[in-house]
Amino acid sequence: MTDAAFARFNAKSTADAVLAGEDLRGLEALVTGANAGIGLATAEALAGAGARVWLAGRRPEALAAAAERIRQRHPDALLECLTLDLASLASIRAGVEAFSAPRCDLFIANAGLVTSRYEATVEGLESTVGVCHFGHSALLRLLMPKLLAAPGARIIWVSSESHRTPAKLDFARFPLKPSQFKGLVAYGQAKLANVLMAKALQRRYGGAGIMACALHPGALVTTEIGRDAPVLRWLVRLAQPFTKSPAQGAATTAVAAVHRPASDLGGAYLSHCRPVACSKEAGSPEVADQLWALTDQWLTEHGLEPWPERP
């Protein structure tokens, strides 16, 4: 892998610029958190390049509005709205049942949140880690047969530079309990878990043709991620003139979706449209295996089918 292979794009590139000239017709792409911000910009760019895009999110009315916005720019866009709450395993199962495509070519784990107070998922997990890590892992585990059915499927985790803090993933405090809760610590844990899961998935399913990677979209990009954290929401608004637009924030996801050969990106961590070094903890196979085992145990205890064997 060389810098020259990624020299065409940078921090100012947009997802549309990355996908210019790409023909994604026939591909099935699922984007979580697709109703606003980076997720919407990602979905719009993929649909504009011809993919059928499944817009996944909690609120049907927000998804319908997002689909209408995309169609205003791309009248022939192939779009499906998938109501799915990553804080509820029942909702995740229902969403997977509604995903009627024969395969999934692109799985983009984009949805995220950060809160200023402790909240819990339906199953009782701290919500930041519960949604960003366990919810996406459950969705991915249920959809893995359809990813394995696609030639060269790609799994893209939208992480963050926040994965560097905390420096270590303390499994005794993962997820945080109410008495331990600090919003930014929970967010850092969740984003660290995203990078680790990309690497764990690559080791387990790379031989089956799947590529998994993680990325940083940009700092304080205008999204709804801080909807439950007033201070972060204020910081995003304050920083908006100096940070990436959602379309620029989606550019690195677009690179991960189309860069060839995909093997360049297997297990990689990207920022500003190119691979960069992740934290030492995020690069540890031992930590990734421990997270995989913990996640596998939790999902199994809650009735999910086993991870499928690779072909």
Interval 57-91: pLDDT, tens: 999 999 999 999 999 999 999 999 999 999 999 99
CA dihedral 6, 11, 12, 16 (to 10 degrees): 60
pLDDT band at 4 (very low <50, low <70, confident <90, very high): low
What's the DSSP call for residue 273? T
Tell me which residue of 25, 56, 61, 58 sits closest to 43, measured CA to CA. Answer: 56
Give the pairing of strands 154-158 and 274-276.
unpaired
pLDDT band at 230 (very low <50, low <70, confident <90, very high): low
Q: Which helix H or strand E contains 271, and what residues bound it?
A: strand 269-271
**Mean pLDDT across 184-208:** 97
Q: Identity (one letter) of the amino acid at 145?
A: P
Token pair for residue 91?
């909702």
Token pair for residue 130?
């519960």
**Mean pLDDT across 99-119:** 96
pTM score, whole prediction: 0.93
**Mean pLDDT across 282-300:** 98
Q: Which CATH number applies to 3-301: 3.30.470.20, 1.10.10.60, 3.40.50.720, 3.40.50.2300?
A: 3.40.50.720
- Residues 29 and 297: their CA atoms lie apart, in Å, by 28
Tell me which residue of 303, 258, 293 sits closest to 23, measured CA to CA. Answer: 258
**Mean pLDDT across 121-141:** 98
The catalytic site residues sit at 187
Token pair for residue 266?
């297997």
pLDDT at 290: 98
Contacts of 97 (CB under 8 A, 6+ apart): none
Sheet holding 269-271, edge to edge: 78-83, 52-57, 28-32, 106-109, 154-158, 211-216, 269-271, 274-276
Are 305 and 93 spatial neighbours (Cβ–Cβ below 8 Å)?
no
